Structure 1
Amino acid sequence: MIAAIAVPVLVASGAGVAHAHKSVSIDVDGKVQQISTFAGSVKGALDTNNITVGEYDVVSPDPNAALTEGAQIVVRTAKPIEVTIDGATHTIWTTADDTAGALAELAASGRSASIVAASRSSERQELKLPLITDGTVTIVDGGESKDVPVTGIATLEDVLKQAEITLGEHDEVKITPKDANHVTVTIDRVAIGERSETEEIAFETVEKKTDALDEGQTKVVIEGKAGAIVRTYKTTTVNGKETNAELIDEQRTEPTTKVVNVGTKAKPKPSKSSDSKQPPATGGAPSSGVWAALAQCESGGNPRAVSASGTYHGLYQFSVATWRAVGGSGLPSQASPAEQTMRAQILQKRSGWGQWPACSAKLGLR
């Protein structure tokens, strides 16, 4: 009360206020120092000792409170931490001693928050606070859970080391509260890789008409080959399950079109003498020996024989192309039996008995 009356008198006179000498203690984040000061307020004592109080720091007693002998000043420095609330990232200031305490304070205020300590979308966040002090950490690693008891102050790295857990480059770590002395550390194992997929492209077939082939005959000029589209994806897997695939490359190989020549050349009409109702011609046809046996097997010994398809003619069932290759002209079935035999012998000398595969095998000629 006296001090209260003296104040206006001193102010009115313009004189300075003299404060009594006091011994007080200042505790800044657990570090305590004893000081002597003439300051009249808590703030004055802090200023005298070059202790700056930030906007979010907590000071007790109130900085504007009068300073008394033996006062105990406590300063708790606030630190910024990033938390996730309802999917959005926020920066909050806390004076809690550890992460578990900060999350518990938020939970007590009705805000459910978590801390992402590692994320594939950003560099790993270094926690500005220890993880927990004297409590329990439940680690959920890739879906498997275990409790790790903690004595004293422990960082996230301390707890992971104690649990013999190593984080990969892309792994995600999220911290959620249970209570002030119990947090859950959830680790999602994230792998970044590549995979390829191949899609086949079917080839087309083009037919080209040509009179170089008999009607009904075909010849493949260019073999068709399927093309392909090879797509390469950058993949993200979380705990073994693919969660994202980004197309990063696509290579296309065009198919090769199949080209087929289709014959348009008219087939020669078989002569009337080839009619099955007419008796087979003789005269000059071999009557014994290997050639007679071959002629009998190929055409029944009929020099005018023509196959049902019109492709093969005469005693030895020449094709027109083969007949001409050994010097014949016209149709083989129109030549004399003697000429047919002569040209068959020429063909045999050039190419062997394989020109008559079925009958030569049947007759034991090869």
Structure 2
Amino acid sequence: MTHESYGTYGSGEAYGSGEAYGNPEPYGDGGPDGPPDAHADASAGSPGGFGGDTYRPAYEALADRTTQVSQTTLLSQAPTEPLLPRQQYVQGVEGVQGPVVAPAVPVEAGAAAAEARTGGRAEARRAARRAPRRRGTTERADPLRRLLPQALVVAFLAGGTSAFVASDKAIELTVDGKPRTLHTFADDVSELLAREGVRVGPHDVVAPAPGTPLTSGDEVAVRYGRPVHLTLDGQRRRVWTTAGTVDGALEQLGVRAEGAYVSTSRSRPIGREGLALDVRTERSVTIMADGRARTIRTNAATVAEAVEEAGITLRNQDTTSVPSGNFPRDGQTVSVMRITGSREIREEAIPYEVRRTHDPSLFRGTEVVDRAGEPGTRRVLYLLRTVNGVKERPRRMGAEVVREPRAQVVRVGTKPRPDSVKGADHLNWSGLASCESGGRPSAVDASGTYGGLYQFDTHTWHSLGGSGRPQDAPATEQTMRAKKLYVRRGATPWPHCGAHLHG
């Protein structure tokens, strides 16, 4: 083959000629009568080109081999983990991941394929040898146009698949104790939870913390918070726990569960809605009874239950130093009081009242009793108790009146007394009083017989119109009656001090 014919074969016009492409002559022989085409026979079944063309340029075969090697490399790099739906949709031909993209096929390649199907390739080559010689620029540009689209497709598939595999992460996500393995493109924990529709609140726990970057093989755990209405040793409060059972919640809250009373089964699961829980921890309580101390460990709810657990029986009026309904505290001492009691009825006098009325016919300082008073009587019920052998002060329980008291009626004089007595006003009565009593109206001698300013005896006082005792009367009345006594008897009633009347 001459250089000229080779150049003609390489021209786009002769290779892509419509005449040669449309020639119905069978591909691979020289004509109806001619011998078979040696080139066609030699290239039959060749993997390098269209229909086994031995004259196909080397760069076309190289491009096909590059495509096959890239596809094989991509298959070896494909992840062995289960594919996510977003990965499966790009499962391509022969297992290559990524969208199936048909490479751009040049016009010449299409013509060659058509010739391979129609069997007119030999005729096309002969026509190309007969065609006029063209410039070599077309020959050089034609293979580049065929190679460039294929190279771009291979680069796109290789780069995109590598980025796809690098971004995919295998993560184990455990939500409330239920684990599952998944593939994700999330960059951190927050994005992962958002993509999976897992919402967390202020009482929920996420480990690692939201915002932590993710790498393939990481484990993410989410525990939801649950409200617990806890009554612990009589104290009520609302707490939150991420434990899934009552036993786990007690451990998480730091409640000493050994020997404690729990209102529900400890293995009971706690739902998202929470539950109400009554817990009484075991406490040490000392019971003092009958002169003996008993210390017990108990989770009783009341003092009465603790006393009963200590083997002590309360009888009749027996009671405890702490109210029986109180919650027993750790280290508390409770005393049992043995009580015996009886009732007693006593009669008591009811004092009478004194009613005084004014009487203008009586001198001032004079009182007359018109009716004497009488006390009444009432019956009083008392409770007598003995606590642990010691008697207590009687407690008054009630009373009833047996007889009403009668008031005393007294008339009190309001008439003014005369201050002068004829024949005695000019005497020195203050000197006499000073000598007899030291000038004290309430003075009484050592024997109790004489009293007042002038030391009257009771008999003499009454004979002069006085009432009661002289020392209880006003000083003016005492002086007035002393003057009357002087008119009757002179100074003789005062043998020692009478001389002062004239002094």
TM-score over 0.5 (shorter chain): no
Structure whose alpha-carbon radius of gyration is higher: 2
Higher helix share: 2
Instruction: Normalising by structure 2, report the TM-score.
Output: 0.23
Instruction: Normalising by structure 1, report the TM-score.
Output: 0.29
